[in-house]
Amino acid sequence: MAGETINEVELMMPELRGPGGDMAAQMRLMYDLVKAPLIVPVLRLAVYVCLTMSMMLFVERLYMGIVIILVKIFCGKPEKRYKWEPMREDYEIGTSVFPSVLIQIPMFNEKEVYKISIGAVCNFAWPSDRLVVQVLDDSTDHNIKEMVEKECLRWASKGINITYQTRVTRGGYKAGALKEGLTHDYVQDCEYVAIFDADFRPEPDFLLRSIPFLIHNPEIALIQARWRFVNADECLLTRMQEMSLDYHFKVEQEVGSSTHAFFGFNGTGGIWRIAAINEAGGWKDRTTVEDMDLAVRAGLKGWKFLYLGDLHVKSELPSTFKAFRFQQHRWSCGPANLFRKMFMEIVRNKRVNVWKKVYVIYSFFLVRKITAHMVTFFFYCVVLPLTILVPEVEVPKWGAIYIPCIITILNSVGTPRSIHLLFYWILFENVMSFHRTKATLIGLLEFKRANEWVVTEKLGDAINNNNKSNSKPAPKKTKSIFKDRILLHELGFAVFLFVCGVYDYLHGKNHYYIYLFLQVITFTIAGVGWVGTIVPS
């Protein structure tokens, strides 16, 4: 067989060398030479790998759907599964019946939203003498630091036990700030610590509804509340995020809490038992997901977590595409890097059962944090379009159409009000899968950007204030607009998919060009930055 191939090459060499040979014809001949022995087998292998990953994701989503239905029917509310009693002040011993709670609010140049979380926690329905509010400000802007400090002093003058803490350096970023905050003498009497990012606004009864679970169930280390979004209707970008995050909270967190008493801490909107933090080794800054890192380590120590889906905390979604991309890089790169660092530690752990270890390794990390991103990008944006150009390789319709449709329907249960946006959500998720896959590979291979930390920009009321302002906007900066708005990778994929779509329209038989042309439009919209809120210069 090898001899026949060599003979073919020798026969074609004169034509390839001919001075009058057409360049396109020469390239076609070279392509035909490598197509059968190399391109077809490699592409066929890629199809098999993608189908396997797709089935892994399908089984995971189906399992989640079945479990969440059973939980809703048979398990009941957390108050029935765990011991819970309402908090009441004792007339004899006064407020000492309430445990001391530390509230940590990490910040970094949060000009637009710094008042939100401070005001919310200072209005908690909790005895002020049993509450310590700690604002951990790592801001580099001195004007913002002054504003935050003044806000803390304003609440302190009203009798709130609030302290303003800064650091010399931002070592460890958020993890470093939270870790240092726990070392101060004035928090040593606190049993629990609640954490809220600067844009989070918990309701006044947040502690009254959550702390009793920790008091009466000593095996519970973490209470996680559900996020709700105040700006979900701001633009199409925020609606897309709401759909993804609602599935995460309504299904993934609920299933993990109900079946294994384990899930990933979301970094904010939750309460930790300080003893559990200390036993797990405290906060670490070895990845960009310090919250997930702590949760996994605490889970391996045998601690249980409880998710309260009825306890809501309002927050803000990133509404600019640039901020969203940075956030998704951190959220995708961090878990992959943590999986790399903790895989053997999870395998060797002897304090949790095998079923829980399998759940953490396979379901929590491998399927949700790695496979889900990669199969979305490689299968639907690379492999499937390439099979159009190489008709010798076919993708079965159950893998190209039926399985993805079922997975999409299962994902949609989190946000019924956005069911009409489901098809565009698929196309947008395919675009974002490029960034998530790249970040996942960076985390797995621990490349240069593995520990890149960019704080997600929050706008608060900035857009409304800019719209109401009568002042003239500053001149636009062409370079920054080009850098932030024009994304060459997305535009490159738009061109690639357009070529595949045209070829399928002219020569194909599966009519994939309908999907491809719609995907081209979505990649182009993202490539020119026409996504999300556009902030005036």
Q: What pLDDT, on the 0 to 100 scale, is given for residue 96?
A: 85
- What is the 3-state secondary structure of 242-310? HHHHHHHHHHHHHHHHHHCCCCCCCCCCEEEEHHHHHHCCCCCCCCCCHHHHHHHHHHHCCCEEEEEEE
Instruction: Please check the confidence at residue 18 and state whether its pLDDT lies above 60.
Output: no
Q: What pLDDT, on the 0 to 100 scale, is given for residue 475?
A: 41
Q: What pLDDT, on the 0 to 100 scale, is given for residue 28?
A: 78
In this structure, what token pair is assigned to residue 281?
């080794």
Whole-model pTM over 0.75: yes
In this structure, what token pair is assigned to residue 277?
């933090």
- Measured between alpha carbons, how far is 164 from 144 in angstroms, rounded to an integer? 13
Number of neighbouring beta carbons within 10 Å of residue 369: 23
Quote the domain boundaries for residue 107: 97-318
- Measured between alpha carbons, how far is 284 from 296 in angstroms, rounded to an integer? 12
| Residue 526, CB-side half-sphere exposure with 13 Å CA sphere | 27
205 occurs within a structural domain: yes
Instruction: Please check the confidence at residue 280 and state whether its pLDDT lies above 60.
Output: yes
Q: From residue 303, how far is each of 85, 103, 214, 257 by CA, in Å?
A: 21, 21, 12, 12
- Measured between alpha carbons, how far is 433 from 332 in angstroms, rounded to an integer? 10
Q: Catalytic residue positions?
A: 138, 291
Closest CA to 514 of 433, 454, 427: 427
Do the beta carbons of residue 412 and residue 426 sit within 8 Å?
no
Q: What is the pLDDT of residues 47-66, one digit of tens each?
A: 999 999 999 999 999 999 99
Q: What is the pLDDT of residues 456-485, one digit of tens each?
A: 887 775 544 544 443 334 444 444 556 667
Do the beta carbons of residue 311 and residue 207 sit within 8 Å?
no
Q: Which residues contact 516 (CB under 8 A, 6 or more apart)?
A: 385, 388, 497, 498, 500, 501, 504
130 occurs within a structural domain: yes
Percent of the chain, pLDDT > 90? 77
Q: What is the pLDDT of residues 345-394, one digit of tens each?
A: 999 999 999 999 999 999 999 999 999 999 999 999 999 999 999 999 99
Q: What pLDDT, on the 0 to 100 scale, is given for residue 461?
A: 59
Instruction: Please check the confidence at residue 22 and state whether its pLDDT lies above 80.
Output: no
Q: What is the pLDDT of residues 391-429, one digit of tens each?
A: 999 999 999 999 999 998 888 878 888 989 999 999 999
Q: What is the pLDDT of residues 64-106, one digit of tens each?
A: 999 999 998 988 889 889 999 998 877 767 788 899 999 999 9
CATH of the domain at 213: 3.90.550.10
In this predicted structure, which of 21-25, 28-32, 136-140, 452-456 has the lowest mean pLDDT?
A: 21-25
187 occurs within a structural domain: yes
Q: What pLDDT, on the 0 to 100 scale, is given for residue 34?
A: 83
Q: What is the pLDDT of residues 158-187, one digit of tens each?
A: 999 999 999 988 889 999 999 999 999 999
Phi and psi at residue 524, to the nearest 5°:
-70, -45
**162-166 and 220-229 strand pairing:** unpaired
More reliable by pLDDT, 252 or 454: 252
Do the beta carbons of residue 249 and residue 309 sit within 8 Å?
yes
Q: What is the CA radius of gyration of the chain?
A: 27
301 occurs within a structural domain: yes
User: Structurally, how many domains does the chain consist of?
Assistant: 1
477 occurs within a structural domain: no
Closest CA to 534 of 481, 489, 491: 481
pLDDT bucket at 283, cuts 50 / 70 / 90: very high
218 occurs within a structural domain: yes
- Measured between alpha carbons, how far is 186 from 251 in angstroms, rounded to an integer? 39
Q: What is the pLDDT of residues 325-350, one digit of tens each?
A: 999 999 999 999 999 999 999 999 99
In this structure, what token pair is assigned to residue 146?
């002054």
303 occurs within a structural domain: yes
Q: What is the pLDDT of residues 104-146, one digit of tens each?
A: 999 999 999 999 999 999 999 999 999 999 999 999 999 999 9
252 occurs within a structural domain: yes
Q: Strand order in 131-137's β-sheet? A: 162-166, 131-137, 101-107, 192-195, 270-273, 220-229, 304-315, 201-202
pLDDT bucket at 454, cuts 50 / 70 / 90: confident
Q: What pLDDT, on the 0 to 100 scale, is given for residue 484?
A: 65
Instruction: Please check the confidence at residue 241 and state whether its pLDDT lies above 60.
Output: yes
Instruction: Please check the confidence at residue 294 and state whether its pLDDT lies above 70.
Output: yes
